[in-house]
A and B are shown apart, each in its own frame.
Chain A
Amino acid sequence: MSLEGKRIVVPGERLPEGVIVKDPSYVYEYDGKVVAAVVGILEEKEKPVFVPLQTIYVPKPGDIVIGLVSSVAIMNWYVDINSPYVAVLNAQDFLGRPFNPQQDELVKYLQVGDYVKAKVVSFDRARNPLLTVREEGLGKITEGKILEIQPAKVARVIGRKGSMLDMLKTETGCDIFVAVNGRIHVKCANKDMEPIVAAAVKMIEEKAHTSGLTEKVRKYINELKLVRGVK
């Protein structure tokens, strides 16, 4: 097993001094020591790194997320952004013009089950996160496939300096967007390529902590392309 130099840490376990933690929510300080608050992996390098196995997405202003419309209200939509907090998308913002519910209906534009790519405008934990689509590249997702992964694995799918994502794009020729909330939008010219991307992403999620993963995934994609006869 390639867990060399890595070990599994459980809640309550003390982490070595000087440990690097990307998100302080998943550790806790006790008795002057940093203690893990969730199950995670400790990479015992020169500078130890603690990586949680699972994270819970908490929206931040500026995040680009992929949301799933979960209900339609009179003046706005409620959007599931794979977080404990349900986001709000206002009709006026989505349409870019004033909206009159007496003359118009929201279901004409977005229905329950539709995906939208949107930006978080504000979220202060006193109110639900507010989304906007008033920017280039945002709005309803009309084609392609949406994949869902654990938000903790988003960084792995992108890779160091985007290496994994670049590899995925060049090997498959697809347009891939990874949102911070753990949803991935895949758009391929060749529709048969989409399941291959899905399989590759699944492999990355499951083997996130193995080394040399980019090459393994590249090999896997090429095998799949050969077996399925997709070019």
Chain B
Amino acid sequence: MGGKKGIKLIDENGLRHDGRKPDELRPIEMKVGVLANSDGSALVKFGRTHVLAAVYGPKEPIQKFVLLPDRAVLRVRYHMAPFSTSERKSPAPSRREIELSKVIREALEDIVLTNLFPRTSIDIFLEVLQADGGTRTTAITAASLALADAGIPMKALVGGVAVGKVDGVLVLDIDELEDGNGEADMPVAAAPDIGRITLFQLNGVLTREEIEKATTMAYNAIQKIVEMEKEVLRRKYLAEKEGDEK
């Protein structure tokens, strides 16, 4: 961490480098059912961060040793496409991607009703098509939509967003530039419908008060994100039904 000299992340009007207010989200776009071959899929864009999610299952796992006798196994693969970054990223899964896969899996395991389908596996593929900060939270949002699209029972929809600290100010939904030059990055994922936080990480230094404020900021934003998810799901099925009427 530690800011680079010469980059001004908050201007004199209190606006961020891309013109957003500190508590403003990037433009969000969501689509469900974008892939034909998967059981469920979603494409979620937070500004210039684009993540494609595909869900398969529940099904008999290909590797039988992974199955659990009392619930379904979630298998999550978070992967960044080689073309997702400004410099080519090796397509081999990196240490970071393996860890993020685990973290995202744990954020979803709490939500999916895995006890309904023991000895099966639910596979979630998350492909970062374009990375501009906040890929793990965008990935969780996409995974949640794809799971709902696949018809897999879940307690509630999950959304994610990161709060960061740049130039001493807490800012919502940070991008790559703010993440790289700011003082802290705190990704949060939650299911507001059942009042649960399923992912909470912090990179950098925040005071106790700042963490409290940042958590509230994130939680409020997640409520908005989850509302958007619901709207997208409703609209998709409504559109399908309306299409039939003609």
Contact = CB atoms under 8 A, between A and B. Distances in A.
A58 B117 contact: yes
A53 B151 contact: yes
A125 B226 CA distance: 34
Contacts of A177: none
Nearest to A78: B60
Question: Quick one: which of A52, A84, A85, A206 has the most chain B CB within 10 A?
Answer: A84
* Contact count band on B: 35 or more
Contacts of A10: 148, 157, 229-230, 233-234
B242 interface: yes
Interface in B118-152: 118-120, 148-152
B194 A12 contact: yes
Interface in B144-173: 148-157
A12 B241 contact: no
Contacts of B118: 125
Interface residues of A, number: 32
Given A8-B237, A84-B59, A13 B230 contact: yes
B22 interface: no
B238 A12 contact: no
Contacts of A206: 244
Contact of B241 (A39, A52, A209): A209
A interface majority secondary structure: loop
Contacts of A134: none
A35 interface: yes
Contacts of B69: 126
Nearest to B194: A30
A19 interface: no
B238 A38 contact: no
Contacts of B58: 56, 84
10 contacts: A8-B237, A11-B153, A12-B194, A13-B193, A26-B153, A39-B233, A53-B151, A56-B117, A84-B57, A84-B120
Given A35-B155, A58-B116, 20 more contacts: A10-B233, A10-B234, A11-B153, A12-B226, A13-B193, A26-B153, A28-B155, A30-B155, A30-B193, A31-B194, A38-B148, A38-B152, A52-B151, A53-B237, A55-B151, A56-B152, A84-B58, A85-B60, A86-B60, A206-B244
